[in-house]
Amino acid sequence: MRDVILHAGIPVKPVYGPEDLAGRDFARDIGRPGEYPYTRGIHPHMYRERLWTMRQYVGFGTPAETNARFKYLMAHGQDALNVAFDLPTQLGLDSDHPRAEGEVGRVGMAVDSLADMEEAFAGIPLDRVSVSLTINGMAAPITAMYFAVADKQGARPERVVTTPQNDILKEFIARGTWIYPVDPSLRLVADLVEFSARRYPRSNPLSICGYHIREAGCTTAQEMAYGLAMAAAYVELMQARGLAPDEFAPRLSFNFTCWGKIFEEIAKFRAGRRLYARMMRERFGARDPRSWMFRTLIGGGGSAFTVEEPENNIVRGAYIALAAALSGAQTMALPTYDEAYTIPSAKAQLIALRTMQICAEESGATDTADPLAGAYFVESLTNQMEERIGGELAQVERLGGIVAAVKTGAIQAEVARQAYRFEQQVGAGEIRKVGVNCHVGERAVEPDREVEPYTVDPRAAEAQLARLRRLRRERDGAAVDAALRRLTEEARGTVNLMEPIMEAVRAYATLGEMADAMKRVFGEHKEAVRW
Amino acid sequence: MKVLIAKPGLDGHDRGAKVVAQALRDAGLEVIYTGLKRTPEEIIAEAIQEDVDVIGLSILSGAHLALSRRVIEGLRRQKADQITVVVGGTIPPRDVQALLAAGVRRVFPMGTPLPDVVTAFRDARL
């Protein structure tokens, strides 16, 4: 009999029984869904009352193209949007910056100013849809643009629901769209959280992401541990501003991945909910039950998907959707079967959406809350996962805490080490991938001609540059200069920068101009390269 | 043999670059990794200063054609075109020929097994 070791390093026995739950208190450790410590989910009846939100990640070239794709997805039943931005936008570079060449509109939508956000959301009522913005280093100005568009549409602030990612710590660890050094970057995160808490009470100003760290290579237990450690760091940051946890924690949310072994993923989320609830209540003293709830987007991990025989990824996606449903997702997104080699096609996006809908409507996975509760294996694995996560949290503490470990690059080095280890295990066949390292046919499968790589239309970048030139010509230059000067001045102090950013946004200052106005004070991050 | 693994452009995905760097180091090569978001000019300067034999560019954003050409042209201008350039990342099959024509010695698209990458580097001068 071959050994089975989960990604978190936990060995799996061939059979489990009551002896595996000895010494556990069902009421204390598991309880009921919708009750502390939320092991079984954050709502009493879970999907019977409200299905998860389906939110695919979309963003193409120009704001007009993105707008058209949003309307297409909404017409097919998607009820929330998730916006991808191109790399220059994510890094605070205007489309005409020399470093933006070749990148404009490539991996998402190009945004140079409020005018672009107005076009992207034209005809989409921002008091009725909820929109996630996958933006971090530039979260403050991009979210300010979103608020400004909502305002121009006449939406009342208390009805505006947006979820900027705004998680800069995971950018330093994994995703790489950092701009400023760690401390001023954290200040901007806190400015947006504080501003939203006071002015846009239904918005979710910070989505804490284990997802990208796992995609970069860490284990399941590390994904949850680093996510919880970052959450704690952000809570401490807001407390230092004088905000009590209950003033902002109910609007914190999470973004985690899900792929690989189904039961390991379910156990990861059950353990994570329990740990977060205890951390928020016992360590931070939160009193509002909503502050204890680990609300999460579960996005299927693209790392599960293979470039070989890409249609098989549709099947992998269905298992991921099932695992995410059984894990208690509030929001779900799936990678598309063509994701290993291209920006998703419309067909692939629709299949991903249909996969989630089939899971929700046909499979029965939504009929009852946490149907696996009490299973010897699942409860035992949840306990073991909790121990592993605790061990990883202790390791972060030994490194001086997550912020210090990010500054030194120690976490980044550990993630890279795990990525290499995983690759070696795939190479050795210890981690099995059908069509890659097992069941590989004698003859390579003919490429499917329907799988067409997305082609970037060079005219889209040209159109964006023309829009930017027209904007610079037509706006009130004096108002822009005054707003940018104010932003630089305020950045030297300690006040919340959202007001001066809102002013610059409304004057149609470009994103690059706002980024530079702050860069004059903050400087740029120097990466601690460790691997 | 000395190798510079480099991340040009704006793309922040460094899992592949770091995995290849570790695999090459384990195979006995001397490996330097630049870190993220380097310009072609910075990469060329570092490659010349460190006297490397090979530059491995890792590009996942789709900007591989423009960035690879700028590195190769820059090496030629600086009379450093004895340095071999290879490219890995999210490279669609249709772009492989264009990269080779631009002077890239080897292309490692998605799904290239790690041992194949290591062998290609180790076989002297590729």
Whether residue A341 and residue B18 make contact (CB cut-off 8 A), yes or no, is no
Q: In this predicted model, what pLDDT tens digit does every residue of A350-374 receive, in sequence order?
A: 999 999 999 999 999 999 999 999 9
Distance CA A205, CA A140 (A): 9
Neighbour tally for A303: CB within 10 Å = 19
Q: Is A442's pLDDT higher than 50?
A: yes
Question: To the nearest whole number, what is the mean pLDDT of chain B?
Answer: 94
pLDDT at A74: 81
pLDDT at A459: 84
Interface of B to A at Cβ within 8 Å reads: 9-15, 18-19, 21-23, 33-37, 39, 61-63, 65-67, 90, 92, 94, 109-111, 113-115
Distance CA A189, CA A206 (A): 8
Which of these, A229, A239, A280, lies nearest to A406 by C-alpha position?
A229
Q: Is A73's pLDDT higher than 80?
A: no
Selecting from B9, B65, B114 the residue whose C-beta is nearest the C-beta of A103 gives B9
Q: Which residues of A touch B33 (CB under 8 A)?
A: 529, 531
Cβ neighbours for B74, distance < 8 A, ≥ 6 positions apart: B40, B41, B44
Q: Which residues of B touch A307 (CB under 8 A)?
A: 109-111
Q: Is A450's pLDDT higher than 50?
A: no
Q: In what order do the strands lie in the sheet with A206-209?
A: A53-54, A331-333, A296-300, A252-258, A206-209
3-state secondary structure of A116: helix
Q: What is the mean predicted confidence (pLDDT) over A322-327?
A: 98
Q: In this predicted model, what pLDDT tens digit does every residue of B31-82 receive, in sequence order?
A: 999 999 999 999 999 999 999 999 999 999 888 999 999 999 999 999 999 9
Cβ neighbours for A95, distance < 8 A, ≥ 6 positions apart: A88, A104, A110, A112, A461, A464, A465, A468
DSSP H helix total and E strand total for chain B: 5, 5
Distance from CA of A106 to the nearest CA of B (A): 7
Which of these, A184, A187, A226, A190, lies nearest to A208 by C-alpha position?
A226
Q: The tokens 């695992």 sit on which residue?
A: A323
What band does A206 get if pLDDT is binned at 50, 70 and 90? very high
Q: Is A457's pLDDT higher than 80?
A: no
Whether residue B34 and residue A307 make contact (CB cut-off 8 A), yes or no, is no
Burial class (CB in 10 A: 0-12, 13-18, 19+), A391: middle
B70-92 per-residue burial string, b: 16 or more CB within 10 A, e: under 16:
bbbebbeeeebeebbbbbbbbbb
Q: In this predicted model, what pLDDT tens digit does every residue of A12-52 receive, in sequence order?
A: 999 999 999 988 888 888 999 999 999 999 999 999 999 99
Q: Is B93's pLDDT higher than 90?
A: no
What letter does residue B4 receive in the DSSP assignment?
E
pLDDT at A82: 83
pLDDT at B30: 97
pLDDT at A455: 66
Q: How far is CA A394 from CA A67, A231, A390, A405, in A?
A: 45, 15, 6, 12
B97-119 per-residue burial string, b: 16 or more CB within 10 A, e: under 16:
eebeebbbbbbbbbebebeebbe
Q: The tokens 């390791």 sit on which residue?
A: A395
Residue of A nearest to B60 (CA): A341
Whether A80 contacts A130, CB under 8 Å: yes
Q: What is the mean predicted confidence (pLDDT) over B8-33?
A: 96
Q: In what order do the strands lie in the sheet with B54-59?
A: B30-33, B2-6, B54-59, B84-89, B106-108
Interface of A to B at Cβ within 8 Å reads: 87-88, 90-91, 93, 99-103, 106-107, 171, 175-177, 215-217, 306-308, 340-343, 416-417, 419-420, 423-424, 427, 436, 453, 456, 527, 529, 531
Q: In sequence order, what are the beta bridge partners of B84?
A: B54
Distance from CA of B69 to the nearest CA of A (A): 12
The runs of H, that is alpha helices, within A362-493 are 376-398, 402-408, 410-427, 458-474, 477-492
Q: What is the mean predicted confidence (pLDDT) over A232-257?
A: 97
pTM equals 0.95
Q: In this predicted model, what pLDDT tens digit does every residue of A159-190 receive, in sequence order?
A: 999 999 999 999 999 999 999 999 999 999 99
Q: The tokens 């997802």 sit on which residue?
A: A211
What band does A76 get if pLDDT is binned at 50, 70 and 90? confident
